[in-house]
């Protein structure tokens, strides 16, 4: 640990962390059943998942799953709920973190979600996106068994394929 003094206060900085925001590489979400961002550094405290025009081939909801170790994805134990601004329908999820609350092959999702490390290996999630039926929003969280090393974007059924758009992450 080192201390930096700016004349009015001192701030302790973790010397193992790189300061600033790091961008992943945007991935075309035009094929496959999942989009993975792997090899994430252990010092990450916040991840922003960004989607632009993301669509799938079916009606299964899009979700985020978190990976640990050598990319073992956690597929249960999530607390997550999503709702739509145009209807009172709320969808809860335990297999991942909601990205929307209505599955429709014609929808494109544009928006972002933020994962934040609250303590240890516990992460909280909030999201907002726009699709053909209006805005979707929600939140959730999970306590992982080990340090987060990967983020997967997939569908609840795991078989619908991505067919449009792009996805990227920022981490800090």
CATH for 20-171, options being 2.70.98, 1.10.3470, 1.10.10, 2.60.120: 2.60.120
Q: At 172, list the tokens.
A: 């800090």
Strands (E), 40-147: 46-56, 62-68, 72-73, 79-84, 87-93, 97-98, 109-119, 122-131, 134-143
Q: What is the pTM of this model?
A: 0.86
39/70 Cα distance (integer angstroms): 9
Could you report the per-residue pLDDT of 74-114, keeping only the tens digit for each?
999 999 998 887 766 788 889 999 988 877 888 899 999 99
32/5 Cα distance (integer angstroms): 49
């Amino acid at each position: 640990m080192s201390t930096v003094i700016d004349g009015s206060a001192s701030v302790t900085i973790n010397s193992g962390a790189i300061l600033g925001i790091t961008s992943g590489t945007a991935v075309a979400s035009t094929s496959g059943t999942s989009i993975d961002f792997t090899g994430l550094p252990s010092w990450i405290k916040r991840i922003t998942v960004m989607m632009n025009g993301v669509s799938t081939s079916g009606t299964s909801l899009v979700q985020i799953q978190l990976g640990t170790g050598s990319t073992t994805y956690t597929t249960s134990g999530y607390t997550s709920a999503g709702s739509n601004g145009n209807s009172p329908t709320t969808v809860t999820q335990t297999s991942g973190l909601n990205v929307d609350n209505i599955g429709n092959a014609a929808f494109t999702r544009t928006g972002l979600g933020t994962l934040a490390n609250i303590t240890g290996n516990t992460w909280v999630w909030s999201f907002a996106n726009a699709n053909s039926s209006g805005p979707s929003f929600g939140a959730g969280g999970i306590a992982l068994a080990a340090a987060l090393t990967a983020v997967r974007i997939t569908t609840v059924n795991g078989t619908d394929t991505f067919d449009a758009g792009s996805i990227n992450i920022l981490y800090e």
